[in-house]
Amino acid sequence: MARVKLSRIRNIGVVAHIDAGKTTVTERILYYTGKSYKMGEVHDGEAVMDWMPQEQERGITITSAVTTCEWRNHEIHIIDTPGHVDFTIEVERSLRVLDGAVVVFSAVDGVEPQSETVWHQADKYGVPKIAFINKMDRVGADFFKAVEMMRERFASVPLPVQVPLGEAETFRGIVDLIRMRLITWQENTLGAAFDVSDIPADFRGEAEARRDNLVETLAEADDEIAEKYLGEVPVTDAELIRAIRKATVALKIVPVLCGAALRNKGIQPILDAVVDFLPSPEDVPPVKGVNPVTKAEETRSASDKEPFSALAFKVSMMEGRKITYVRVYSGLLKAGDEVFNAAKGRKEKVARLLKMHANKRERIDVAGAGDIIAVAGLKEAQTGDTLCSESKPVILESIEFYNPVISQAVEAKTPADQEKLPDVLAKISEEDPTLKVKYDEETAQTIISGMGELHLEIVVDRLLREYNVHVNTGKPRVVYRETIQKAVEVEGRFERELGEKKHFGHVKLVLEPLPRGAGIEIRNELPIETIPAEFHPVIEESIGEAVLSGVVAGYPVLDVRVRIAGGSFKEGEASAVGYKIATATAFRDGCSKADPVLLEPIMRVDILTPRDFMGEVIGDLNARKGEVESVNPKGPVTEIRANVPLRSLFGYSTDLRSATQGRAIFTMQFLRYDKA
């Protein structure tokens, strides 16, 4: 199969808040591009991209799914991502490897909390976006209000390139402001066919005014358009498309489209916008990395002729076999090739290359720059690892993982289950880097930690369904952290004979508190003459291990600077064991003397409640020691944003439904750690 030109490849993600219609949009894209022959519906549990049983039953996306389709002679690689905040790592790692995103908003609800989160995630990785305002057929739909919310909350400038003709029950179609035409969809073809006609006379004046606004906004971002606009020279459709693309790729504007995906209206223009406005791999800056040998910064351009480099962004188990999803940034990869895992410093053999369509796969012989594929045969590769040529090694910027905030004990029901449990959890945590597994020696329990109650619920469900492992579960518990409140200077000394060999280590440490969110900072200030250089990595490694267990309750330590300030050396007795134990002793001693304190996770909670219940909701938040940050009326409902300790939020879903007659909804996500 001939490779598609780089300029004709688009790597895009579809992202949104839960229930904005993201998967419905993706399913329509697959249908209209001929990738699937039946329109999968989320509410029927038949969505192609939601292939996990848990996804089909709950009607939500849990894991990101990859597929490829074609439109206007372009190859589009699509990643459909979850909307639920518990699975935000799936969005994070997808955006890390994408070149563009389609952000779906509800015309009724506008910018919701999780859509705000994914927008900022996309900004972090410099991902250009187009916006699709969905559900224009629903009661309460307001296109311009949604656009205004985007303008208020985001740095990028929203640029409507379409406007709806009618809203809610009067929604008929869309007006294309670039080509100045009306598009309506034929219902008897399930939206596959559409009609293009003149804009109705009674709407023509408004459409022309909106087009003028579009040109004026573009003039601020593009000199050529500005020249024509100021000179009152007409701007052609082709010039507009070129300017919109340029400004979108430069992250200056976000083209905004609209439609009603469930009613099969507005999907083909999204595909046109992906082709016209979003970048190809050639249009994005070369990817940056570090040479693991020289530590010098290196770049890799999107070209098959460059040295091979790829980032593993997802690991999945399919039919008992490990599949690694990779984005190829440069060079070629062939089935049977040997690749170098720069993160692990090991060579690995590629057995097969696969082009994915959700959980179905197609074998291919070769992949090159810009491709998103799955690789079978890699045993060592994990999420965030760089695969490259051994002769031209590089480590690309990895993926940032979130710390778990909630934990739960799981106990095997039978000895047979106990035998399987550790291996199965190891497999699931390899797929999901936000799941942490720990065996508690004191209680003889296995503790799983994750991003929320739903996250852990899905893990337990998978144990039973996929691996036939039966477990009892304990109540979810908060995962705390520890920190210190004052600076201390301490030393650790170890001098002992072990196995007829003397071991010596002597280290001086300075521990200093850091601001919240700073993490752990290790500074090596040791002169070589104090302790030989060969022991320095041992000392640093020992600190890295020591911070995993604090002195208050054994939780990991955060927001501390550890300065390795001094120590001593004994010829013939100094050993790695000695320095390791001395360092760990000094750190624990230091933490004990530095006013250690527990930190608890604070969650950002966003609630949408009918106005009649606003008082009860705010009163309940106060009782849970929550801090109300903002109250924003949104028509018949009110949006309440608050910061609440996680320990107060167990069972909140049930309590909120009871207090509001089942009419309020909420989302929460981790905000910060603070003093308990």
Contact 643, 605 (CB under 8 A): yes
pLDDT digits (tens, 9 = 90+) for 276-318: 999 999 999 999 999 998 889 999 999 999 999 999 888 887 7
The CA-atom distances, in angstroms, between 68 and each of 360, 361, 570 are 11, 11, 63
Mean pLDDT of 588-608: 93
| pTM as predicted | 0.73
Q: Rounded to whole angstroms, what are the CA distances from 18 to 72, 133, 205, 413?
A: 30, 14, 37, 34
Question: Residue 480: is its pLDDT beyond 80?
Answer: yes
Residue 50 φ/ψ region, left for φ over 0, alpha for ψ in the -120 to 50 degree band, beta for the rest: beta
Query: Can you say whether the dihedral through the CA atoms of 207, 208, 212, 215 is positive or negative?
Result: positive
pLDDT of 108 > 70? The answer is yes
Mean pLDDT, to the nearest integer, of 27-45?
Answer: 68
**DSSP labels, 598-623:** EEEEEEEEEEEEEGGGHHHHHHHHHH
Q: Is the pLDDT of residue 502 over 70?
A: yes
Q: Which residue has the tokens 């991502």?
A: 81
Strands 100-106 and 9-16: parallel
Q: 252-266, 375-389, 624-638: which has the highest mean pLDDT?
A: 252-266
H-run or E-run covering 117? helix 113-124
pLDDT over 70 (residue 90): no
Q: Which pLDDT value is given to residue 524?
A: 94
Residues 415-467 have pLDDT tens digits of 999 999 999 998 888 878 888 888 877 666 788 988 778 788 888 888 888 88
Strand, coil or helix: 98 = coil
- Highest mean pLDDT range out of 80-84, 87-91, 568-572, 579-583? 579-583
> Can you tell me the distance from the alpha carbon of 246 to that of 253, in angstroms, rounded to the nearest whole number?
9
Q: Stretch 175-194: mean pLDDT, rounded? A: 94
**Pairing outcome for strands 597-610 and 560-568:** unpaired
**Dist CA 303 CA 50 (whole Å):** 33
C-alpha 308/C-alpha 302 separation (Å) is 10
* 157 backbone dihedrals φ, ψ, rounded to 5°: -90, 120
Highest mean pLDDT among 76-80, 117-121, 332-336, 457-461 belongs to 332-336
Residue 155 has pLDDT above 90, yes or no: no
297-300 and 346-349 beta bridge pairing: unpaired
For residues 651 and 93, give the distance between their C-alpha atoms in angstroms, rounded to a whole number.
30
Question: What type of residue is 8?
Answer: R
Confidence of residue 632 (pLDDT cuts 50, 70, 90): confident
Q: How many other C-beta atoms lie within 10 A of the C-beta of residue 6?
A: 17
Determine contact, residues 611/618, Cβ cutoff 8 Å: no
178, 168 Cβ separation under 8 angstroms: no
List, as own/partner pairs, every contact residues 415-422 make where C-beta atoms lie below 8 angstroms and the sequence separation is at least 24, other chains included.
417/469, 417/470, 417/471, 420/467, 420/468, 420/469, 421/446, 421/463, 421/469, 421/471, 422/446
Q: Is the pLDDT of residue 649 over 90?
A: no
More confident residue, 401 or 143: 143
Q: How far is CA 186 from CA 28, 265, 266, in A?
A: 15, 9, 12
- How do residues 382-406 score in pLDDT, each as one tens digit? 888 899 999 999 999 877 776 787 8
pLDDT at 173 over 90: yes
Q: How far is CA 394 from the centre of its chain?
A: 23
List of residues 6+ apart from 402 with CB closer than 8 A: 88, 89, 92, 434, 451, 670
CA 168 to chain centre: 32
In 125-266, alpha helices (H): 143-153, 201-219, 223-230, 237-249
pLDDT at 55 over 50: no
* Three-state secondary structure call for residue 246: helix
For residue 128, which of 249, 12, 275 has the smallest C-alpha distance? 249
Q: Which pLDDT does position 383 carry in this prediction?
A: 82
Per-residue pLDDT, 462:
83
Question: Measured between alpha carbons, how far is residue 131 from residues 23, 34, 140, 161 in Å?
Answer: 15, 23, 19, 10
Q: What pLDDT, on the 0 to 100 scale, is given for residue 613?
A: 92
Question: Residue 553 CB: number of other CB atoms within 10 A?
Answer: 11
Structure confidence at residue 71 as a pLDDT band (50, 70, 90) = very high
Per-residue pLDDT averaged across 28-32, rounded? 89
So what's the pLDDT on residue 88? 61
Res 42: pLDDT: 42
Task: Supply the mean pLDDT for the chain.
Answer: 87
Q: Is the pLDDT of residue 631 over 80?
A: yes
Residue ranges with strand state E in 398-552: 406-412, 436-440, 445-450, 471-473, 477-478, 481-483, 488-498, 501-513, 520-524
Cβ atoms within 10 Å, residue 519: 12
**pLDDT-derived band of residue 665, with 50, 70 and 90 as boundaries?**
confident
pLDDT computed for residue 4 by the predictor = 83
Rounded Cα distance between 231 and 225, Å, is 10
| End-to-end CA, the chain | 60
pLDDT band, residue 64 (cuts 50/70/90): low
Separation CA 78–CA 166 (nearest Å)? 30
Q: What is the model's pLDDT at position 74? A: 95
pLDDT digits (tens, 9 = 90+) for 529-562: 899 999 999 999 999 999 999 999 999 999 999 9
Torsion angle (degrees, nearest 10) of CA 389, 390, 392, 394: 80
399: nearest Cα among 385, 409, 389? 385
Q: CA 350: distance to chain centroid?
A: 27
